[in-house]
Chain A
Amino acid sequence: MISINRKKMDEVVENLSNVDLVEGTSLWQDAYLRFRKNKAAVTGFVLLVLMTLLAFIGPYFTPWDYESIDWSLIGNAKDGGAPQIANGHYFGIDDLGRDIFARTMQGTQISLMVGFVGTAVAVFVGLFYGAIAGFVGGRVDNIMMRFVDILMSIPIMFVIIIFFVVFGRSIFLLFMAIGMFAWMDMARIVRGQTLAIKNKEYIEAARAAGVSGLRLITRHVIPNLLGIVVIYTSLLIPSLILTESFISFLGLGIQEPLTSWGALINEGARTMQYGTPWQLAFPISFFIVGLFCFFFIGDGLRDALDPKDK
């Protein structure tokens, strides 16, 4: 009797240990596979990586930097300042004799950084705000979300501009202000998702195991929100770059000699009747290509991570 059982058990063990386990695909692997199939998104991603590399490495390959003036060409931008390889002005010079290539690279750095840092601020604030509101619920939720409603019906751009006027213009403030006024959508989305998640069994299990409060939120709620957060983040980056460009276009954002896409486009647009079209063409191309990349990546991520589509 016992020996038979023993034999059977050995068989079972043998069988089980020889079975090739079916590899499970996690949500993220699955998403990665689907993202890779999306040609537009992959192209956008590759282009964006190249652009970022160019923006940070490019300045080492030109004799000019973003603020020094080429005295041999100053006042002669129209005739002598056109883009050429010979004198090192790959994108030409602006009306003050500064190298457009170096300035475009510098502007790209700032614009990308505003996009990423601002988004990081917005995501951090929005994620916690939304998760807490949704998780605590009740009156706290009501008050917190009403506050978000109020903020959302204020034309934020004006408030940001007032913010710059009042506190002076610095790069740190630019990053902070733009991020601090962009978290409301994120908070709303996260709250909605949290409401859906918080009654799931695994939350109950965690609670039964004695996890509580902030730890429950950071360990169990937020990881399960990440899909939607990633999608929304990828859309937030270009919209913050747009915001920064808008403010800099008005001459209220980044301060000379530093520059950004918006400021460069502004300069280019102001000087185009002087016959220096390259001053507008290069920054505007970078801006358009960059935003396209972000939008395609966002679309790709949404298709890859949205469970509705499975």
Chain B
Amino acid sequence: MLKFIVKRVASSIPTLLLLILFSFVMMRLAPGGPFTSERALPVEVLANINAKYGLDQPWHIQLWRYIEGLIFHLDLGPSFKYKDRSVNDIIAQGFPVTMTYGLWSFAVAVVVGMSLGIMAAVKHNTWLDYIAVGISIGAQVLPNFIMAPILVIVFTLWLELLPGGGWNGGQWNHVIMPVIALSTSYMASIARLTRGSMLEVLNSNYIRTAKAKGLPMRTIIFRHAIKPSLLPVMSYLGPAFVGMVTGSVVIDIYFSTGGMGQFFVDAALSRDYSLLMGITVLFGAMTILFSTIVDILYAWLDPKIKL
């Protein structure tokens, strides 16, 4: 097990380096630097600015400095557009917001999705099952950018119950719509997966044996059926996490929550390469970390997997 963990963690390092290299090369390939504006700067000024940000150095030195700063000081460098602010400052401001509703969404998607799936499988071919299947089929065409305006129409414009945006320090009524918008489609996928694998498990021989022994249904489900039926769901958690991280961009834009997504899109539109890259590296690192954890959990849950 320990060997597996070490191996898995070690293999995630080149992934991160490749991501850094890839985004770095793309930024440098861009025609025109980050300081080319419509009104051309005097050559001397431009040279000074480039020197200040280290852009006058050859590529490999720039790349090395970036990686060095990242590893030894966890420093993502200065922002090119926001003067006097480093990428770290901006992340420190936006990250807590993104994490707050991101974790809530993840929890809601997993808990509601699994419960819905298990319920549908246990009550197979009853109206409960049909409702659950209906919800999960309907919700798969409702990604976050569709859910967000629909929620605002219903809860803000018609019912006037919830504020249509803003964050207000994470007050519950500002968090609720982002969480629903972000989690719905993943909730649906998790419910479908859980239902499918739970049905398969419930039809297997050892469950029949457990029933024959006279175990109560509750014990059968919670002691015997749940663990194996969650394995396929586990392998979906990685993609779901990535989807939520990217989805947070929509949430931040649409609900003006002030999270990382807003900065990302602003950076993309204003060509603030260092900020763009910093956020990509941060989200990439989170994704890689998360998929590593999921893999380890998976190996721990599934005795059949080769360590």
Binding site for B on A (CB under 8 A): 149-150, 153-155, 157-159, 161-167, 242, 245-246, 249-252, 262, 265-266, 268-269, 272-273, 277, 280, 284, 287-288, 291-292, 295
Question: Is B26 a contact of A163 with CB atoms below 8 Å?
Answer: yes
A163 to B23, CA, bound (A): 9
Cβ A269 vs Cβ B283 within 8 A: no
Of the candidates A150, A164, A262, the one whose C-beta lies within 8 Å of that of B14 is A150
Q: For B232, list chain A residues within 8 Å (CB).
A: none
- A149 to chain B: which residues have CB within 8 Å? 11, 15
Whether A165 lies near B143 (C-beta < 8 A) is no
16 contacts between A and B (CB under 8 A): A153-B238, A154-B288, A155-B280, A155-B287, A157-B246, A162-B276, A163-B26, A165-B269, A165-B271, A249-B145, A269-B254, A272-B157, A284-B149, A287-B141, A291-B141, A292-B141
Contact B246 A250 (CB under 8 A): no
B245 touches A155 (CB 8 A): yes
In the bound complex, what is the Cα–Cα distance between A265 and B145 (angstroms)? 8
A153 touches B15 (CB 8 A): yes
Residues on A with C-beta less than 8 A from B253 are 250
Complex partner residue of B145 from A246, A252, A273, A277, CB under 8 angstroms:
A246
**Which residue on chain B has the smallest CB distance to residue A246?**
B145
**Closest B-chain residue to A40, C-beta based?**
B137
CA of A165 to CA of B253 in the docked complex: distance in angstroms? 18
> Which residue on chain A has the smallest CB distance to residue B141?
A291
- The list of the 9 closest CB pairs from A to B, nearest first, reads A269-B149, A157-B246, A291-B141, A166-B30, A249-B145, A158-B280, A150-B15, A165-B268, A166-B26
**Would you call B250 an interface residue if the criterion is a C-beta within 8 Å of the partner chain's C-beta atoms?**
yes
- Asked if B249 lies at the interface with its beta carbon under 8 angstroms from chain A, I say yes
Q: Which residue of A lies closest to B277 (CB)?
A: A162
CB distance from A124 to the nearest CB of B (A): 22
Are A162 and B268 CB-contacts (below 8 A) given A153-B12, A246-B143, A287-B146? Answer: yes
By secondary structure, the A interface counts as helix
**B27 CB contacts on chain A under 8 angstroms:** 162, 166
Contact A158 B22 (CB under 8 A): no
Instruction: Give the distance in Å from the alpha carbon of A284 to the alpha carbon of B23 in the complex.
Output: 33
Q: Which one of A158, A167, A250, A266 contacts B283 once the chains associate, using CB atoms below 8 Å?
A: A158
CB atoms of B145 and A245 under 8 A apart: yes
Q: Which residue of A lies closest to B30 (CB)?
A: A166
Q: Is B140 an interface residue (CB 8 A)?
A: yes
Q: Is the CB of B101 closer than 8 A to any CB of chain A?
A: no
Which residues of the partner chain A approach B23 to less than 8 Å between Cβ atoms?
159, 162
Partner of B153, one of A245, A272, A292: A272
A250 CB contacts on chain B under 8 angstroms: 249-250, 253, 265
- Chain B stretch 141-194: residues in CB contact (< 8 A) with chain A: 141-143, 145-146, 148-150, 152-153, 157
Closest-CB distance, B161 to chain A (whole angstroms): 16
Tell me the smallest distance from the CB of B160 to a CB of chain A, in Å: 12
Decide: A252 and B265 in contact? CB cutoff 8 A. yes
- Tell me whether B279 is interfacial, beta carbon within 8 Å: yes
Q: Is B284 an interface residue (CB 8 A)?
A: yes
Counting chain B CB atoms within 10 Å of each CB, the highest count among A153, A268, A269 belongs to A153
If A162-B280, A165-B271, A250-B250 touch, whether A265 touches B141 (CB-CB below 8 Å) is no
Query: Given A166-B29, A166-B30, A265-B145, are A154 and B284 neighbors across the interface (CB < 8 Å)?
Result: yes
Contact of B246 (CB < 8 Å), options: A150, A155, A252 = A155
